[in-house]
Amino acid sequence: MEDEGEGVRAVPLAGHVGFDSMPDQLVNKSVNRGFCFNILCVGETGLGKSTLMDTLFNTKFEGEPTQHNQPGVTLKSNTYELQESNVRLKLTVVNTVGFGDQINKEDSYKSIVEFIDAQFEAYLQEELKIKRTLHSYHDTRIHACLYFIAPTGHSLKSLDLVTMKKLDSKVNIIPIVAKSDAIAKSELAKFKIKITSELVSNGVQIYQFPTDDESVAEINSTMNSHLPFAVVGSTEEVKIGNKMVKARQYPWGTVQVENENHCDFVKLREMLIRVNMEDLREQTHTRHYELYRRCKLEEMGFKDTDPDSKPFSLQETYEAKRNEFMGELQKKEEEMRQMFVQRVKEKEAELKEAEKELHEKFDRLKKLHQDEKKKLEDKKKSLDDEVNTFKQKKTAAELLQNQAQQAGGSTTLKRDKERKN
Amino acid sequence: LTDAIPHHPNPQGKGEKSHGGDFSYVGIDAILEQMRRKAMKQGFELNLMVVGQSGLGKSTLMNTLFKSKVSRNKSVQSNPEERIPKTVEIKSISHDIEEKGVRMKLTVIDTPGFGDQINNENCWQPIMKFINDQYEAYLQEEININRKKRIPDSRVHCCIYFIPPTGHCLRPLDVEFMRRLSKVVNIVPVIAKADTLTLEERDSFKQTIREELRANGIDVYPQKEFDEDAEDRMINDKIREMIPFAVVGSDQEYQVNGKRLLGRKTKWGTIEVENIAHCEFAYLRDLLIRTHMQNIKDITGSIHYETYRVRRLNESNGHVISQTSDHMAVQPKANGQLEEQPGALQANGVAAQHEALSHEM
């Protein structure tokens, strides 16, 4: 490709061309596709996570409260289709069930980290597929993590610090003070300062609302200073004046959720949804996901350049690994084949043995049989001989008897003759 | 507080929920404004390629489309030997243009020498190579471990093919080029210098061209198979009935009926470029810039580029996969998950696609 050597210079237009419609074209395409937004709520049981979600999105998400009888920390994820004017949003809310309930909380953060990683992994798998459909892929990566801090009024719990430290490189963390109507206003300011300084001193990177775009820089930087947001959630409505407002009613007064003097709910909604939703999504994709991808690929042994500074392509390394894998596969196949052949040989030998034995047995039996037969024949022969002898004797005896009779007859004749004479 | 944020114009703010009954405003639709803000900040990129024999008015048309000198007219070259290159060259010029706050980096890729030789065999090859090289560059960046936040997009989004206004039919070169390139890039064919055709000649020429495209299985933009829904199809069908657009380009303004208009002045009249009764330049401009620019880029990215990527990633693996695809399913490995996937996916129809793509060049 030859460049004219002018570089890229700005050129004025002599009239209306019409590409100022590009943002509209882009937005229309996105509207057709729909949007995805995934929020993870991390916090101990009873801090009002579900209620806050209901309040934020103005709907009742779950039918019944979650069961809290599982042994470890489980993550429960629900996806909802919301629509406002022409925008369709696929909202996924993930709740940590059982967080902080265990006696030993050392491993509490693990299932959360695993869950976040699993979503990155799923996306990475899709991205690395040969035939892939990225544009219609349902993105489940977590775009925002709302970390619910218990309203103790003192400081962060060590569980909170440990968990947030483990999560800050994987997800955009927005810390909030839950059920903040439990803290008096004077204590709240101190609490917020304590939390912020603890986060800073422990090196926890929470999500900063972006200040590079001039149209939102001012409001974002103001909001950054209000973190963590002290929120109150409620789906119950109370009549104040002549309007129905979301509020929590106490004997001593009513906390109005959307009253900025009472709590920071409106600020949270403004930042999370109305101003920075897109930025949260972009940070997730370009920072957290890229980090995950880089680590994962390096772990698997892929490199961009080798020591000779010749750039490896992922493809080549991929191929090399594949060949290695193939080689191993073939080796295994060979082994299996060998084993199979061996087994066959052995079995064959066994069978041959058995056959031989059988033959021998047969021969033996046959011989036995023949011997018996011979014996019997001999016996029969001797018997026959006896019979013959006997017969002979009998015949001889009969002959003698006949002769004797004849002789006797002739003797009688002789006597008779003698008488006559 | 609320005044500081430019909300998407929706005064009532009442929304319908598919869930629950409250009707207060949440503000989900503010994301449209957030997206618009982001787009304005980032700016856009557009890469257009013009292909056609010399003298068909390619540079002039580009300058007319963008109302500025974005493409250099070759005929003003001082050195006559340089005028017609011996082989097809690829010349790329980029400009930053801005309109109502929307910034765009426009790259016009010229292809001097195309179709100008006596023997034009394989003159599409340098062009194919260039297009594929851009896909390759993008792929290389995409598969890097440390990759840029925004991968610079130099892929050719649209190739405008200039058909000489013979009035008869497509030449073998036209057919050959479009047949091959429609598989890798969006092609928008135009009838160049259409002011030499009468309206009847133009219509019959267009009809012949459309039939020939159909007969040769050439899918030009907007391709039927990528229509997203019925509404899309309706709009695109209308466009498909009009292509190729018969265009006239000009960067000279003349006074017509008291107005200054872009046109070509002849002894028998002035052809107004932006007058749809005279030529179809306005339709081309609307298609390319005002309505379908995003769509053109999407098709390039999600279809042409993906096709290239599939082929590229399969290249070395083609013959091995067919033997071992069954084995792959049987052997789950800890780190084999990555390699297993492609194998499992290879089984379905990729071999066929591989075949179909292999006789491209």
Specify the pLDDT at position B343. 38
| pLDDT tens digits for range B319-333 | 333 333 333 333 333
User: Is B353 a domain residue?
Assistant: no
Q: Which of A13, A279, A318 has the CB atom closest to B99's CB atom?
A: A13
Q: Do A277 and B30 touch (CB under 8 A)?
A: yes
Q: Which of B205, B209, B202, B207 lies closest to B175, judged by CA?
A: B209
For residue B46, the surrounding DSSP H or E stretch is strand B44-51
* Cα dihedral: A153, A157, A160, A165 (round 10): 110
User: Average pLDDT in the A157-170 region?
Assistant: 91
Residue A6, pLDDT > 70, answer no
Residue range A369-392: mean pLDDT, rounded: 92
CA distance B245 to B177: 18
Taking CA–CA distances from A213, the nearest residue in chain B reads B41
**Does residue A89 contact residue A81 with C-beta atoms inside 8 Å?**
yes
CA dihedral A102, A103, A105, A108 (to 10 degrees): -20
Which of A87, A303, A315 shows the shortest C-beta gap to B28?
A87
Question: Tokens 């906390």 sit at which residue?
Answer: A255
- B93-130 tens-digit pLDDT: 999 998 898 999 999 999 988 888 888 888 889 999 99
- Looking at CA atoms only, how far is residue A358 from chain B in angstroms? 41
**Quick one: what percent of chain A has pLDDT higher than 90?**
44
Q: Is residue B213 part of a domain?
A: yes
Apex B306 CA angle, B301 and B311, nearest 5: 150
Provide the pLDDT confidence category of residue A304 given band limits of 50, 70 and 90: low
Determine, for residues A282 and B38 on separate chains, whether the beta-carbon distance falls below 8 Å.
Answer: yes
CATH number at residue B99: 3.40.50.300
Using a CB-CB cut-off of 8 Å, the residues of chain B touching A273 are: 26-28, 30
Residue of B7, B31, B97 lying closest to A278 (CB–CB): B31
Q: Quick: pLDDT tens for A72-105.
A: 888 888 888 988 888 899 999 999 988 888 888 8
Rounded to a whole number of angstroms, the distance from the CA of A7 to the nearest CA of chain B is 7
Does residue B73 sit at the A interface (CB-CB below 8 Å)? Answer: no
**Does residue A416 have a pLDDT over 50?**
yes
Inter-chain touch A85–B15, beta carbons under 8 Å: yes
> What is the rounded CA–CA span in Å between residue A235 and residue A54?
7
* Residues of chain A positioned with their CB less than 8 A from the CB of B320: 322, 326
Q: Report yes or no: A30 and B35 within 8 Å, Cβ to Cβ.
A: yes
A131 CB neighbours in chain B (<8 A) are 306, 310, 345, 350
Residue type, B118: I
Rounded average pLDDT over A281-286: 93
Residue ranges of the domains in chain A? 30-300, 313-392
A282-291, B7-16, B218-227: which has the minimum mean pLDDT? B7-16
Query: B162: helix, coil or strand?
Result: strand
For residue A236 the two structure tokens come to 């119950």
**Which residues of B, range 251-290, sit inside 8 Å of A by Cβ?**
285-286, 289-290
Of the options 3.30.450.20, 1.10.3210.10, 3.20.10.10, 3.40.50.300, the CATH number for the domain spanning A30-300: 3.40.50.300
Q: Is the peptide bond before B126 cis (omega within 30 degrees of 0)?
A: no
Q: What's the domain count of chain B?
A: 1
Nearest to A4 among B91, B290, B346 (CB): B91
| Helix spans in chain B (H) | 30-42, 58-66, 125-142, 172-181, 199-215, 230-240, 281-285, 293-299, 305-314, 318-330, 336-346, 350-358
The pLDDT score that the predictor gives to residue B4 is 34
pLDDT in tens, B77-101: 545 555 667 778 898 999 999 889 8
Lowest-confidence pick of A216-225, A345-354, B267-276: B267-276
Side-by-side strand order, sheet with A237-240: A237-240, A243-250, A253-256
- Predicted model pTM: 0.74
Query: Which residues in chain A have Cβ-Cβ distances shorter than 8 Å to B7?
Result: 274
Q: Does the distance separating the beta carbons of B35 and A13 come in below 8 Å? A: no
Residue A163: its pLDDT value, please? 92
- Interface pTM, i.e. ipTM: 0.76
For residues B76 and A38, what is the distance between their CA atoms, to the nearest angstrom? Answer: 58
- Locate the chain B residue with the closest alpha carbon to A33: B228
Comparing CB atoms, the residue among B105, B140, B154 nearest residue A8 is B105
- With respect to residue B39, please indicate whether it lies within any of the assigned structural domains: yes
Q: CA gyration radius for chain B?
A: 24
Q: Which residues of B touch A82 (CB under 8 A)?
A: 17-19, 26, 28
The torsion angles phi and psi of A309, rounded to 5 degrees, stand at: 50, 40
| Residues of the domain holding B236 | 34-143+151-317
Could you tell me if residue B120 is inside a domain? Answer: yes
Apex CA A386: angle with CA A381 and CA A392, to 5°? 125
Residue B9 lies in a domain: no
Mean pLDDT of B337-353: 39
pLDDT confidence of B22, banded at 50, 70, 90? Answer: very low
What rounded mean pLDDT belongs to chain B? 78
Mean pLDDT, chain A, rounded, equals 86
Q: Residue A3: pLDDT band by 50, 70, 90 thresholds?
A: very low
Query: Is the model's pLDDT at B290 over the cut of 70?
Result: yes
